[in-house]
């Protein structure tokens, strides 16, 4: 049985490290947290040496005092299992627990996440510390729940220790049973890679042309890493369920090579995410047209929502961020931290904790600022958090448990994400197309979900959506194509981009005309294709008969050939030797339709399709919004809350044809209304 993330109350809180501060500060800290409107704190996720200073010697004094004190102030506590930071005594005595890089370098004590998931010794020691903690705190009235480890697969998401090679060998053996099947799946006849004994099978290893291992093996390696991370977390989840059954279990994440949907379904009560919207600012790609900047974090939050419709933000950015030598993020401007808080809530957060209460005075994160500065004097970030605290004290009761609604979804899947990480002939396209579609939908205020297609996905999961956009699923099984066909036949609209359907689940190419498994769906074949780069100049697509209606045909061009009478040509290439050939097609099928767009999407092309399909904002009849504002709707059976978030620091005008109230302030909003810079409204 899954516990709802929210239960009845919205929780606002903060991450706190009692072990970083003199004990005489704790009471004042907890008192001020309550004053700020906080109800929950997370502790202990890096404190293994404090609980177990020597192997097998356990002590709980420091955290007993901290938890008791927090509880005496009415705060609930989330306890992290401390397995992301093995103690020095542990790695000294059992060096086999350490992670090893692809090049064979052992990662040593001195930072964090330097362990591997496969070492039987590490699994045993993690099980023991988790059992000790669960036994000690399972009946503590102040402990609400547990966070397993911290950010599985963050910092590093590949593992090449001896135990990992061994575990991988067992994993492939269980998957393929015979070497013949393994050889077949990995296509080892190519370049004489054929295995004649299981002992010859390893995770990918350095090869003469650097980092060029067998691509099918590389795909299986990522599937293994994901399964292995889940099996590592499962040990702790099982212990916590058994020993502390009345406390909930979560973990914070969303990192590479990990099927977070499976992790959540198998082990967690709800998923947690750490939201640092400034990452999108420091990684700003200056070539990008109309970047969404901190608003692009909403796309990540849509992914989180697909894992767990109501979730916890375990760490919400609350100041400038940065490590000593990298990740230097500007300070959020006045109002921006509050905006980010509501960005998370608008997407489904029912618990939210700021990272962190006070900036650390030592270690790698002396520049990763908390809401309090080192000096601990009043500052504007604490005031801003307190404003949020006051607002949510009332508004949180209404928001909690409501769920987002959308009629359009972007589709992704892990196989293509992982295979595409290695395969540059389509992998990078997915990220561009996701971003460009998201921009187009955001600018038109059309809320979208993001769905991961999984082996468990059923037609019922897809039918709530009028439109599904699946940009470049190179890997597509016939079973997936059949499921998508059912969706289309019953009236759905499905949109593909270039490089669709030509690989099987092993990552091998079908001996069929492209788009392979999706050919019947699309009613076209790909006559020819080319990358658009180097000496191949960019071309464009002409939509309909208007020679002015051109959009760029980015990165890759599939030159299409119509196979079925049901296909209509929506756009043609405008130049090069394939000028006039179909670039965009629409196939009427059953009561639905399938679009094939022969290139990588850009915002303009996505908007052309949005217009052709007459897609509009769900609130278009009563609300007019400028492009700077994000719209998200959270609903219950009886209520609907319309979140409006202004990402610009300048005021913007919104126009309402109906009279509404703002849940955060209680004021009435109607007619022409000025929403302040970084302003937020929750209308109902
Ligand atoms: C997260 C991590 C925290 C802290 C924070 C800021 O990824 O869980 O422990 O490191 O980032 O760097």
Of the pLDDT bands very low, low, confident and very high (cuts 50, 70, 90), residue 7 is low
Atom of ligand 1 at shortest distance to CA of 323?
12
Cα(355) to ligand 1 centroid in Å equals 8
Please tell me if the CB atom of residue 368 comes closer than 6 angstroms to any atom of ligand 1: yes
Give the residue-averaged pLDDT of 102-113: 96
Please tell me if the CB atom of residue 218 comes closer than 6 angstroms to any atom of ligand 1: no
CB 143 within 8 A of CB 186: no
Whose Cα sits closest to atom 10 in ligand 1?
Answer: 365
Instruction: Please identify which of the residues 221, 315, 391, 630 carries the catalytic annotation.
Output: 315
Choose which residue among 279, 365, 367 to substitute to test ligand 1 binding: the one with the highest number of ligand atoms within 8 A of its C-beta: 365
Q: State the fold for domain 408-612.
A: Rossmann fold (3.40.50)
pLDDT tens digits, residue range 56-68?
A: 999 999 999 999 9
Give the residue-averaged pLDDT of 113-136: 98
235 by DSSP, 3-state: which?
helix
Whether 289 has a pLDDT exceeding 90, the answer reads no
Q: Token digits for 656?
A: 């309402």
Cα dihedral 200→204→207→209 (10° resolution): 140
Whose Cα sits closest to atom 1 in ligand 1?
Answer: 274
Atom of ligand 1 at shortest distance to CA of 327?
12
Whether 546 has a pLDDT exceeding 90, the answer reads no
Cα(600) to ligand 1 centroid in Å equals 34
Name the β-bridge partners of 106. 100
Choose which residue among 47, 157, 274, 325 to substitute to test ligand 1 binding: the one with the highest number of ligand atoms within 8 A of its C-beta: 274
Q: What is the pTM of this model?
A: 0.97
Please tell me if the CB atom of residue 314 comes closer than 6 angstroms to any atom of ligand 1: no
Please tell me if the CB atom of residue 17 comes closer than 6 angstroms to any atom of ligand 1: no
Instruction: Please identify which of the residues 11, 96, 151, 436 carries the catalytic annotation.
Output: 151
pLDDT of res. 322: 86
Element spanning 644, H or E: strand 640-646
Cα(365) to ligand 1 centroid in Å equals 8
pLDDT tens digits, residue range 161-200?
A: 999 999 999 999 999 999 999 999 999 999 999 999 999 9
User: Is 151 noted as a catalytic residue in this protein?
Assistant: yes
CB 43 within 8 A of CB 37: no
Instruction: Please name which of 647, 656, 653, 642 lies closest in space to residue 678, comparing C-alpha atoms.
Output: 647
Please tell me if the CB atom of residue 150 comes closer than 6 angstroms to any atom of ligand 1: yes
Give the residue-averaged pLDDT of 243-262: 98
Instruction: Phi first, then psi: give them for residue 276, nearest 5 degrees.
Output: -125, 80
Give the residue-averaged pLDDT of 330-350: 97
Rounded-to-integer distance, Cα 539 and Cα 556, Å: 10
CB 654 within 8 A of CB 626: yes
Q: Could you tell me what percent of the chain has a pLDDT over 70?
A: 98
Please tell me if the CB atom of residue 274 comes closer than 6 angstroms to any atom of ligand 1: yes
Atom of ligand 1 at shortest distance to CA of 154?
7
Least confident of 266-280, 316-330, 446-460, 630-644: 316-330
pLDDT tens digits, residue range 17-69?
A: 999 999 999 999 999 999 999 999 999 999 999 999 999 999 999 999 999 99
pLDDT tens digits, residue range 530-542?
A: 999 888 888 999 9
Whether 6 has a pLDDT exceeding 80, the answer reads no
Give the residue-averaged pLDDT of 374-400: 97
Whether 326 has a pLDDT exceeding 90, the answer reads no
Task: Tell me the pLDDT of the chain averaged across its residues.
Answer: 96
Whether 460 has a pLDDT exceeding 80, the answer reads yes
pLDDT of res. 1: 38
Whose Cα sits closest to atom 9 in ligand 1?
Answer: 150
Cα(18) to ligand 1 centroid in Å equals 16
Atom of ligand 1 at shortest distance to CA of 150?
8
- Asked: is 11-97+109-154+233-402 a CATH 3.40.50.720 domain? The reply is no
CB 408 within 8 A of CB 467: yes
Cα(277) to ligand 1 centroid in Å equals 13
Q: Token digits for 661?
A: 């109230």
Whether 4 has a pLDDT exceeding 50, the answer reads no
Q: How many CB atoms lie within 10 A of CB 339?
A: 23
64 by DSSP, 3-state: which?
helix
Whether 629 has a pLDDT exceeding 50, the answer reads yes
Please tell me if the CB atom of residue 154 comes closer than 6 angstroms to any atom of ligand 1: yes
Q: Could you tell me what percent of the chain has a pLDDT over 90?
A: 92
Atom of ligand 1 at shortest distance to CA of 314?
8
Whether 614 has a pLDDT exceeding 50, the answer reads yes
How do the domains of the chain map onto residue ranges? 11-97+109-154+233-402, 408-612, 623-683
Whether 291 has a pLDDT exceeding 90, the answer reads no
Cα(431) to ligand 1 centroid in Å equals 24
Of the pLDDT bands very low, low, confident and very high (cuts 50, 70, 90), residue 414 is very high
Choose which residue among 43, 329, 355 to substitute to test ligand 1 binding: the one with the highest number of ligand atoms within 8 A of its C-beta: 355
Rounded-to-integer distance, Cα 202 and Cα 189, Å: 17
Please tell me if the CB atom of residue 151 comes closer than 6 angstroms to any atom of ligand 1: yes
pLDDT of res. 605: 97
pLDDT of res. 508: 98
- Asked: is 623-683 a CATH 2.60.40.1180 domain? The reply is yes
Of the pLDDT bands very low, low, confident and very high (cuts 50, 70, 90), residue 286 is low
pLDDT of res. 284: 61
Per DSSP, helices labelled H in 515-655 are 519-522, 603-612
DSSP string covering 169-194 = HHHHHHHHSSHHHHHHHTTTTGGG--
3-state secondary structure 322-354: CCCCCCCCCCCCCCHHHHHHHHHHHCCEEEEEE
Instruction: Phi first, then psi: give them for residue 588, nearest 5 degrees.
Output: -75, 130
- For strands 349-355 and 311-317, give the pairing: parallel
- Before 356, cis peptide (omega within 30)? yes
pLDDT of res. 263: 98
Whether 635 has a pLDDT exceeding 80, the answer reads yes
pLDDT tens digits, residue range 574-613?
A: 999 999 999 999 999 999 999 999 999 999 999 999 999 9
């Amino acid at each position: 049985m899954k516990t709802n993330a929210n239960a009845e109350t919205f929780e606002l809180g903060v991450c706190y490290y009692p072990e970083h501060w003199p004990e005489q500060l704790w009471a004042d800290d907890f008192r001020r947290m309550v004053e700020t409107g906080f109800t929950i704190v997370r502790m202990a996720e890096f404190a293994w040496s404090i609980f177990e200073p020597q192997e097998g010697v356990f002590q709980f004094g420091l955290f007993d005092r901290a938890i008791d004190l927090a509880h005496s102030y009415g705060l609930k506590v989330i306890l992290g299992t401390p397995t992301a930071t093995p103690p020095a005594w542990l790695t000294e005595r059992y060096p086999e627990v350490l992670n090893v890089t692809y090049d064979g370098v052992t990662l040593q004590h001195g930072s964090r996440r330097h362990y591997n998931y496969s070492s039987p010794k590490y699994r045993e020691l993690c099980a023991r510390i988790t059992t000790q903690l669960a036994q000690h705190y399972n009946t503590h009235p102040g402990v609400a729940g547990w966070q397993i480890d911290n950010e599985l697969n963050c910092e590093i998401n590949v593992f090449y220790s001896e135990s990992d090679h061994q575990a991988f060998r067992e994993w492939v053996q269980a998957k393929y049973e015979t070497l013949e099947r393994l050889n077949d799946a990995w296509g080892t006849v190519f370049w004489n890679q054929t295995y004649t004994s299981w002992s010859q099978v390893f995770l990918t290893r350095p090869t003469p042309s650097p980092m060029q291992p067998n691509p099918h093996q590389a795909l299986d390696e990522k599937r293994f890493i994901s399964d292995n991370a889940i099996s590592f977390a499962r040990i702790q989840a099982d212990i916590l369920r058994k020993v502390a059954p009345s406390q909930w279990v979560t973990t914070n994440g969303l990192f590479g090579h990990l099927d977070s949907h499976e992790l959540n379904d198998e082990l967690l009560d709800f998923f947690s995410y750490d939201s640092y919207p400034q990452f999108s600012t420091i990684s700003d790609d200056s070539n990008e047209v109309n970047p969404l900047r901190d608003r692009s974090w909403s796309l990540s939050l849509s992914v989180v929502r697909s894992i767990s419709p109501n979730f916890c933000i375990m760490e919400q950015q609350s100041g400038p961020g940065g490590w000593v030598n990298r990740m230097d993020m500007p300070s959020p401007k006045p109002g921006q931290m509050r905006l980010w808080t509501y960005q998370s809530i608008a997407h489904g957060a029912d618990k939210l904790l700021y990272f962190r209460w006070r900036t650390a005075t030592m270690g790698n994160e002396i520049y990763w600022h908390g809401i309090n500065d080192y000096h601990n004097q009043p500052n504007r970030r604490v005031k801003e958090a307190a404003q949020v605290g006051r607002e949510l004290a009332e508004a949180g009761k209404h928001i909690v448990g409501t769920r987002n609604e959308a009629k359009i979804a972007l589709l992704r899947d892990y196989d293509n994400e992982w295979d595409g990480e290695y395969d540059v002939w389509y992998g990078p396209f997915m990220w561009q197309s996701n971003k460009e579609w998201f921009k187009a939908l955001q600018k038109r205020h059309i809320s979208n979900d993001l769905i991961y297609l999984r082996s468990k996905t059923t037609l019922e999961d897809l039918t709530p959506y009028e439109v599904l956009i699946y940009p470049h699923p190179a890997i597509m099984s016939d079973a997936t194509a059949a499921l998508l066909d059912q969706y289309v036949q019953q009236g759905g609209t499905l949109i593909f981009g270039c490089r669709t359907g030509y690989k099987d689940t092993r990552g091998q190419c079908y001996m069929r005309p492209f788009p392979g498994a999706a050919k019947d769906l699309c009613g076209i074949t790909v006559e020819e294709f080319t990358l658009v780069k180097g000496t191949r100049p960019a071309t464009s697509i002409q939509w309909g008969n208007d020679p002015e209606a051109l959009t760029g045909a980015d990165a890759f061009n599939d030159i299409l050939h119509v196979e079925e009478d049901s296909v209509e040509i929506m756009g043609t290439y405008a130049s090069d030797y394939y000028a006039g050939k179909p670039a965009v097609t629409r196939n009427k099928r059953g009561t639905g339709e399938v679009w094939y767009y022969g290139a990588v999407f850009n915002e303009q092309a996505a908007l052309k399709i949005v217009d052709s399909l007459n897609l509009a904002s769900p609130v278009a009849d009563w609300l007019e919004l400028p492009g700077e504002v994000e719209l998200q709707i959270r609903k219950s059976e009886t209520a609907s809350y319309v979140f409006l978030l202004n990402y610009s620091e300048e005021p913007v005008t919104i126009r309402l044809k109906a009279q509404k109230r703002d849940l955060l302030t209680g004021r009435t909003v109607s007619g022409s209304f000025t929403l302040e810079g970084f302003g937020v409204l929750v209308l109902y």
